[in-house]
């Protein structure tokens, strides 16, 4: 992968460069602060930016907020020496694909890069896959197509489309990654929504078996959308997607009817494990 390193400490830049190049990645640029970083990302399209939080001028979060990670198809690994507990969740909600706390072990950097490489491969397969046809109404086969009796019975009794999902998230990269992960384990993604309001309508029209619902979105939050999605399709199972796993958020999600949650940054293996267990129930 092509990697950019941003850190005001030259020794740290050199260490990160050595680790990245030791894993056969290419370090294409190094910056001591954010000056010139955004233009470089837009023009050169690196795969990964290792971004220090505490920088002269704009800090890492400010730069991350200005960096359109979806449009530029870049994964950001936030690196910080701060021990503030809310930083990791905030970084994830801003779109960070990884989070490392200083001092770190070399294996942590290697693992983050490996996770990002896997996620990028899954998202790329999802992006290149042919578009799925619009899903029929539950229990209604497509013209000239007769589903197996057992599947038809299940669909009619549950009033949802078996092994189907809708993803509701304002991040295009998260939508694409989750779509890829779900499709690789046999769950058909029949709808994508960029806001809670849009998600409610998509669920009402498609009646999926599962909804992956982002907690933190502009306008209506995922927690506020929970009762509306349940009303739109009561049998649908709802899984929250969040960078903030604080007790109040988790309690609100469970109290609202969610069956669980995925933490950002999304780790494909953990999503796969959770979904396989859910499918066995």
pLDDT tens sequence across 54-89 = 999 999 999 999 988 877 789 999 999 988 878 888
Q: For residues 250, 68, 115 and 126, what is the CA-based torsion angle, rounded to 10 degrees?
A: 90
Summarised one tens digit per residue, pLDDT across range 107-144 is: 999 999 999 999 989 988 888 776 554 444 444 444 34
Question: Whose CA is closest to 113, among 35, 242, 21?
Answer: 21
- Which pLDDT score is estimated for 281? 67
What confidence score (pLDDT) does residue 153 get?
34
- pLDDT one-digit tens code per residue, 151-188: 433 334 458 899 999 999 998 888 989 999 999 999 99
pLDDT of residue 93: 84
pLDDT value of position 159 = 83
pLDDT digit string, tens, across residues 200-219: 999 999 999 999 999 999 99
Label residue 262 by pLDDT band (50, 70, 90): confident
pTM of the entire predicted model: 0.79
**Rounded Cα–Cα distance for residues 249 and 158 (Å):** 29
CATH superfamily of this structure's domain 135-280: Response regulator (3.40.50.2300)
Closest CA to 26 of 3, 43, 51, 46: 3
Greatest CA span in the chain, whole angstroms? 66
Residues of the chain with CATH 3.40.50.2300: 2-127, 135-280
What fold, for 2-127?
Rossmann fold (3.40.50)
Q: Which residues are CB-neighbours of 272 under 8 A, at least 6 positions away?
A: 181, 184, 185
């Amino acid at each position: 992968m092509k990697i950019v390193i941003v850190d005001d400490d030259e020794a740290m830049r050199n260490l990160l460069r050595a680790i990245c190049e030791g894993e056969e990645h290419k370090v294409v640029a190094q910056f001591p602060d954010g000056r010139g970083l955004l233009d470089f990302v837009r023009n050169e399209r690196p795969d990964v930016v290792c971004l220090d939080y505490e920088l002269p001028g704009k800090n890492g979060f400010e730069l991350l907020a200005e960096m359109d990670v979806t449009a530029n198809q870049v994964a950001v690994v936030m690196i910080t020496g701060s021990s503030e507990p809310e930083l990791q969740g905030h970084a994830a909600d801003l779109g960070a694909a990884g989070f490392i706390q200083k001092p770190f072990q070399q294996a942590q950097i290697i693992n983050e890069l490996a996770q990002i490489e896997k996620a990028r491969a899954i998202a790329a397969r999802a992006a290149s896959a042919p578009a799925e046809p619009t899903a029929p109404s539950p229990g209604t086969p497509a013209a000239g197509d007769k589903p197996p009796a057992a599947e038809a019975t299940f669909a009619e009794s549950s009033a949802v489309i078996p092994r189907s999902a809708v993803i509701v998230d304002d991040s295009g990269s998260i939508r694409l990654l989750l779509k890829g992960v779900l499709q690789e384990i046999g769950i058909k993604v029949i709808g994508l929504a960029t806001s809670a309001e849009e998600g409610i309508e998509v669920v009402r029209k498609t009646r999926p078996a599962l909804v992956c619902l982002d907690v933190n979105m502009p306008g209506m939050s995922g927690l506020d959308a929970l009762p509306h999605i349940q009303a739109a399709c009561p049998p649908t199972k709802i899984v929250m997607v969040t960078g903030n796993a604080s007790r109040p958020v988790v309690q609100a999600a469970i109290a609202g009817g969610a069956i669980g949650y995925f933490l950002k940054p999304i780790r494909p293996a953990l999503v796969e494990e959770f979904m396989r267990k859910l499918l066995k129930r």
